[in-house]
Amino acid sequence: MNLSLPFTLNDIADYFPFLKRKPGRFVTPSGAEVHAIIAQFATPADVYHAAEKVRDAGYTRWDVHTPFPIHGLEEAMGIKRTILPLIAGSVGLGGAAVGFLLQLFISTDYEIVVQGKPFTAWEPFTPVTFELGILHCAFATLIGMLALNGLPRWHHPIFNSKRFLKSSDDGFFIAIEAADAKFEPNAVKALLESAGGTGIELVES
């Protein structure tokens, strides 16, 4: 029985061009696209200083992978502050506004006498307004964080490298992606070598 579909994903993408993956600029002799070039470093200090060099060289699409957090690494990498607080704050305030208006609308549209209090008194609205603000803020923070991190995803091409698995044990890695505008294999290799990287290898996509 043939279970294959009568069309491929690329056929669909013909009608939705934005779905089409852009072909990588760099392809290995075997025909696979290049995902990144990685280099291993021996100590946190080595990878820290190497990160400063990569940052100063002007790369933007790259990452450092370490078994544990290294304090100050985000500064060495030149990572800017996340916009997540803005997302959380604005959605939170929006949620609070929704909570308030919801009650205001209900209380004016369907008036119920409670202890003879005014229908539109702001006092009883406050807890619900507050709670909805918190709820929206929490959702925005979680979902915003996942979205900014590109999560969830099934797989990441960097795991095609067997050596990279040491990054969850005792290896400190820098990976410069082929998607970086400045990416040029020989220059990247030279930079990582001069920064003290060992076992430099090319990871296929």
**Which residues are near other proteins by CB under 8 A?**
43-45, 48-49, 52, 68-72, 75-76, 89, 115, 123-124, 126-127
Q: What does DSSP say about strands 198-204 and 62-65: parallel, antiparallel, or unpaired?
A: unpaired
Cβ distance to other proteins smaller for residue 49 or 182: 49
Shortest CB 85 distance to other proteins, Å: 8
Shortest CB 75 distance to other proteins, Å: 5
Our measurement of the distance from residue 68's CA atom to the centroid of its chain's CA atoms, rounded to an integer in Å, reads 18
Cβ distance to other proteins smaller for residue 78 or 157: 78
Shortest CB 191 distance to other proteins, Å: 17
Find the helix or strand (DSSP H, E) in which 190 lies: helix 185-194
CA distances to 14, 47, 49, 162, 173 from 204, in Å? 25, 23, 26, 12, 16
Question: Strand, coil or helix: what is 192?
Answer: helix
Residue 171 to residue 105: CA distance in whole angstroms: 59
Cβ distance to other proteins smaller for residue 78 or 199: 78
Shortest CB 81 distance to other proteins, Å: 8
The neighbour count for residue 111, using CB atoms within 10 Å, is: 10
Buried-exposed string 153-186: b where 16+ CB fall within 10 A, e elsewhere? eeeebbeebeebebbeeebbbbbbbbbeeebeee
Cβ distance to other proteins smaller for residue 8 or 60: 60
Cβ distance to other proteins smaller for residue 172 or 183: 172
154 DSSP 8-state letter: S
Shortest CB 56 distance to other proteins, Å: 9
